[in-house]
Amino acid sequence: MDTSFDPSLLGARISHDPSVEGKRNVKHSQDVDTRPNHRQEHSDLPQLSNGQTRSPTIFVVFGAQGDLTKRKLIPALYNLALSHHLPQEFAILGVDVVPVNTEEFREKISRDIQELSSHPIDTTIKKWLLDRLHYLQGDFRDPHTYERLQAMLTQLNETYGTRENYLYYLATAPTFFSEIVQKLGAQGLVEHRKDYYRRVVIEKPFGHDLPSARSMNHAMQEVLDESQIYRIDHYLGKETVQNILVFRFANCIFEPIWNHRFIDHVQITVAESLGVEHRGAYYESAGALRDMVPNHLLQILSFVAMEPPNTFDPEAVRDEKAKVLRAIQLMHPTDVLQSTVAGQYEAGSIDGHSVLPYRSEVNVDPLSLKETFAAMTLHIESWRWKGVPFYLRTGKRMQRRSTEVVIQFKSAPLMLFSKTSVGQLTPNVLVIRIQPDEGISISFGAKIPGPKVNVGTVDMDFQYAEYFGDAPSTGYETLLHDVMAGDATLFQRSDIVEAGWSVVDPIVKVWESLGSHAIFPYVAGTWGPLEAHTLLAKDGRTWHDHN
């Protein structure tokens, strides 16, 4: 999170910078000499009007032939180049076991950029990026791979003037994380000094329970300082998630009422209409709870519930997030039975198309007891949130794709309207839509025109695309930008990871001990099992209406 910007611009600082509009047809060099000691002069990317640049960087991707690199990382880097948020002294080095050379890799990436983009491609920018793209074939477990990596980094550093700043992105299976870091350390490739940086980005899952998360953190910290580790959660790259901080702390009309005195409850929903797709084997080991709650949902919750930090300094923000997660009331087994629901989708219909049940998906056990839906009620034991329930739910094959935060306020007293035709007052509701249509809406009561006093509910709605434009984005742009800037605000610290697993582990243990008795079926294309609605109904509440 780039705190040198005005906080009110936080939600649009990457994709919608007006200072770079109209500057995208600048010519760049046609050829790059990658031989050592033959450093070339490269045409500059236009600089931002406020003089901002990122540190010179070599972006090293382990798992360069994988789906994450293809669909997210390279398109995000292209978008950053397009908006002039990459440094001029920049190179990308892909590392993978697939035996191809640099030219073949460039051709593949060029096709991928063209295939996946929903916007017209700027061929000049694409060439600028491809000219800086290189490939190293090697086995992640082979020490010789890292010897060759060191030699190639030295060569690229000389060619592009990257000042020995190396960013390692582990776009691999989690089983490789610790081994890659250990071998980078053995080769002296992660030594961190004042005159250059070495940073490592890892994707979730950060372990599969609390002990494994602690073990992973320990293995990483044997080689790296915590400040070098960037645990990435792509949900935090979404503009609306980042804007929660600005919405709360830059607007005096909201922060004074952001507490138990005015808020009745909070709902956080991450729903997907897709099934497990090609991730059946992974889902059989993880399930919805492990896959989504300790990362995405609890991270969103921490932004919603945290206390105001003294500054937007990364550690100040992360300190407050950690405090919130540690304040969540941990569940005893009886609490799990009363306050959580696990579900698994059966055959159904989505958008008029029939879909298979979970147990018929590829690489899924036909007798699987793994949940594809999870819902729960959490309580935060703090002065701000005492008595306010936080309802969380996430699921596959639900009615539609939707990620949102719903803040429902308490109802106003009805006495004033006792001698009118108003029978009840509808509570004010604030909805922060994170995807797919990013925006914020507020509903409130207004008098219906006419001689009698009747109150109707009206909505005020803000949509990001309408106001800021629909710029190309994968959700990774801000996060990659921040890693290069050394800003860890949107990344998980080790204690935050462990606090999240502390919340989830007691639930997992009870569900696994109950076996089939813990899983409630739901028809694909619905909003989950009936029991998830009962979870709120027993408190006199309902899930927010998505229809």
Any idea what DSSP says for residue 322? H
Joined together, the tokens standing for residue 423 give: 């029978």
> Which residue among the candidates 42, 84, 134, 296 is catalytic per the annotation?
296
Distances (CA, A) of 167 to 62, 75, 160, 200, 230: 11, 17, 15, 6, 10
Q: What amino acid is encoded at 48 in this protein?
A: L
Element (H, E) at 465: helix 464-468
Starting at the edge strand that comes first in sequence, how are the strands of the sheet with 166-170 ordered?
133-137, 90-96, 57-62, 166-170, 198-203, 229-232
Distances (CA, A) of 444 to 76, 189, 393, 410, 463: 38, 57, 25, 12, 18
In sequence order, the 6+-apart residues with CB closer than 8 A to the CB of 278 are: 362
296 catalytic per annotation? yes
Any idea what DSSP says for residue 386? T
Q: What amino acid is encoded at 543 in this protein?
A: W
Q: Is the dihedral of CA 174, 176, 182, 184 positive or negative?
A: negative
Q: How far apart are CA 230 and CA 223, in angstroms?
A: 14
- Please name every residue paired with 439 in a beta bridge, in sequence order, or none if there are none: 433, 463
Q: How far apart are CA 300 and CA 287, in angstroms?
A: 19
Q: How far apart are CA 220 and CA 226, in angstroms?
A: 8
**Residue numbers annotated as active site:** 296
